[in-house]
Structure 1
Amino acid sequence: MTGRRLGNDPAAHELNILSINIRSLRHKLRDVLDLAEGTKSDILVICETWLDSSVTPGDLHLPGHNLERLDRSGNVGGGVCIYWKAELNCQPRPDLVSPGIECCWIEVKTSHQPCLIGSLYRPPGCTVSYWDSFEALLSKACSPTTQTILCGDFNVDTSRNCSNHMRLADIATSYGLQQHVRSPTRIGLRGPPTTIDLVYSTMECASPATNHAISFSDHHAVTTPFNMVPIRIPPAAPAQTRNIRRINMDLFRQDIQCANLCSIKGTCTEMWTQWHECLMSLVDQHAPLRPRKHRAHNVAPWYTPELAALVRRRNKLHRKWLRTRLDVDYCSLQQSRREVTRTSRALKEQHYNEAFVNATRNPRQTWRVLNQLSERQPVHTLPKCSPDDIGNVFAGIVNDPQRPPALTLPQGPMSPNSLSIFKPVTIARVRKLLSSIAMTKATGSDGLPGTILKSCADLLAPSLMLIFNKSLSEGQLPPSMKIANITPVYKGGE
């Protein structure tokens, strides 16, 4: 979790980065989420995602995380992505993407200076010219005003001296990058263990990088904590709601009668304030506000007990192979991995087929399933401008001399006589309007539930009639009645 304290130093904070070569991400999201939660990682740097344009954002959704991805174009395989917790103040940096290098970047806002985090995959067998492109990439990403962290599968074994290792080490040293992974990250069936999943940074890590053997990839996951104070986005105020349905309406009506709302005196504003406070105190007494519980989004609704059993078996076989290192155990592990992947795909297909069949005659449910499948998000096309600019646009339309006025507005300050053309409000009229309130509509800025106003219209109408007539006689409205929630809808154009 972001903002974890280290030791007894209250000023030290830790940002935990998880780096992994996933070898196909799409059907391993639950494994990735479990690993991220188990390691308490804030940012997930993933390579070899094996994605293409046919994979929608909905297929890659992780609850509470945002995603930046870079798929390989043309050939199959490759690809990189970065997940980060939604509470972190991060933004993608597509301007740092370089042709010929599979690497995507995000920028993390911190209290000291920004930090660039990159996810890189270098395919095996690259030509010597790759390092020239890599050095050009670092020249854009590394600067004195930012910190830089670069993670991924470099396919360069740093445990032995070779030409690629020497060239990579020279480039890293020239840009002030240090490598933090010391133990092997890939232990295959044949050949010696290799250290090819690397973490480079321009800063010291808070503690040594840790390798985690995982059952859904033949690479180890690497967690690296950094001393960093990221700027977090303030959490939204918890949503609150009232359980209006559980109100004992008979007792509530008795309390309204005992409140004697018709006895309220004073100016229009004073009467409305006292009336509103009195009614809201009764509402709080009978239906107090309570935080709304949000159900966590299930990353895989098709995750059945059958699939869970297969995953447990795969993990057990992985632990056995780590102990024995026998060929027969490795073959069993590979077979179990393939079985988990096939079953996950089949269950997902079955889940959405059944969802579409059940929604055949329900267009709304059909679109709900489509949105869940594609993770469609509303597109915000409202241009960036201040509230004053929006107000000036609306005022310009109303005051346009070429536009015929729809209503003759009074000029100058209003007086009580200016409202004499309106007839006094009657109790029957107020009661009729209260009874016509739609109880399914959201509560307005006054916080009064429509269900209360409609159910108690006969008791509230007399006191409201007095307030409305007082407003007409004084020629003014209470300030709170002038407040409204307005959402301008951008229609395009200038």
Structure 2
Amino acid sequence: METWLNSEDDTQMLHFSNKFDIFRRDRESVTRGGGLLIGINSTLQSKVIASELNIEMLWVSITCHNKSHLLCLVYRPPDSTVSYWDQFEFALASQEHSFHKYESVVVLGDFNINWPNAPHKFIDVLNMYGFDQLVNQNTRPSTNANDGSQIDLVFSNTGSSVRNISVVDNPVESDHHAIEFDIDCRLYLPTTSTIRSFIKWNSGDFHHLNNLLHLAPWSMFLNENDVNASWSGFMDIIDAAVRDSFPRVKSRARKQSSPWITKHIKRMIQKKKKLFKKSRRSGIQEHWDAHKKWRNKVHYAIRKSYKDYVNNLFRSADNKKRFFAFVKDKRSSSLPSKFINPTNNSYYSNIEDIVNGFNRFFTSIFNDVNVHFNFNEPPPVLLKSLYLLIFHLVRMI
């Protein structure tokens, strides 16, 4: 928040200071305005990472459940010149070497510039570092309800970690609205490696398998009146016969969090870090230009590799497990998806309403058939199974 505090103002005068760890970056000049303050709940581990000298910017890390997030609070004076964006870029560059240590990097604050009219230089810098702007409402109202400006902004380099962002009434007297959002600090069990069991097909006894399947009591497991029981019995016989005929081997598979980061890109990142250290040590503009040029190449290479990886997931017909693992990892919540009733914008609350909602949607496009499911009178088995299958598939992704 913008505080208007200076060195003469004691932090103890703030009413919430006993419950929060307070980090300040006061404006050194005598001009009115500016000044930054971040209050972190004392139950969380937090510390100041950096406080920029040339611009009003404060970096603070938060650690919860062994997951660290980096917050950067910014205040841009409304009378700032064009050179401010160069200083802003330099400040991001000075911390970029540590971004990989954090689950997310969140840059937020009062930029005093209406986001729909943001300058290209500002947008280019954000895109260069992979930041997305998450606020989509006016944060400073005006007397005209249709007017207002979107000057309080929140940026994140991992959108899945920042959720439920909303603009709300400010709890204190201010001409700005407040912004609320959640940062994902849930505790996950370690999944760096997984022990998997694989069948060694080349070392199996196919003759023994054939005999087991030939002698299996199929009639005991197949039920012509219950397809589910028949399928379960069929798979039990197949699984038992395969386990008895083929050896298995266990292997530890290490999880790769970002498979699109190739060895070539890792080498490029290492070179970028070396160029940054060289530039910071020498301070020569030519070295900084070389670092920026190489940094841009790294960002573009990562974006291209990421797009190629995602596109290959869609193209490969035999890639279902990796595809759904990728989709699941990008979900911001493990809860089932919400289904909206388009007639009144309310949420469907039970399976029957959801299934009938799918039916109305499909029949609005293919209007040769109009079926309504009454669960007291069972619908055609094939159509009911189809809609229930669609419902469960949507919940999976």
- Normalising to structure 1: TM-score of the pair? 0.35
Higher RCO, 1 vs 2 (CA within 8 Å, ≥6 residues apart) = 1
Per residue, is there more strand in 1 or in 2?
2
Q: Pick the structure with greater CA Rg.
A: 1
- Normalising to structure 2: TM-score of the pair? 0.43
